[in-house]
Amino acid sequence: MGIPSKIRLVILLSLTAMACSSPLKVITDYDSKADFSQYKSFSFFELKDTGPGLSELNQQRIINATREELIKKGFIEDQNNPQLLVNVTAIVNEKKQITANSYYNYGGYYRPYRWGPSYGGSTVYNVTDLKEGSLIIDILDASSKHLLWQGTGNKEIDTGLKKPETEIPTYINKILSDFPPVPKSSKTK
Q: Residue 19: what pLDDT? A: 46
The domain spans of the chain are 5-94+131-180
Judge whether 105 and 118 are in contact, CB under 8 Å: yes
pLDDT at 71: 97
Residue 124, pLDDT score: 66
Q: Is 84 exposed, middle or buried (0-12, 13-18, 19+ CB in 10 A)?
A: buried
Of all helices (H) and strands (E), which one includes residue 120?
Answer: strand 114-141
What are the tens digits of pLDDT across the range 123-140?
Answer: 666 666 656 678 899 999
CA atoms 95, 30, 188, 71: torsion sign: negative
What's this model's pTM, rounded to 2 decimal places?
A: 0.66
In angstroms, the CA 91 to CA 47 distance is 11
pLDDT tens per residue across all 189 residues of the chain: 555 555 555 455 455 544 445 688 999 999 999 999 999 999 998 666 555 656 677 788 889 999 999 999 999 999 999 999 999 987 766 666 566 665 555 555 554 555 555 555 566 666 666 566 788 999 999 999 999 999 999 887 555 667 878 888 999 999 999 999 987 665 554
Question: Out of 3.40.980.10, 3.30.565.10, 3.40.1360.10, 3.30.160.670, which CATH number does the structure's domain 5-94+131-180 have?
Answer: 3.30.160.670
Residues 6 or more apart whose CB falls under 8 angstroms from that of 151 comprise 26, 27, 28, 136, 137, 175, 176, 178, 179
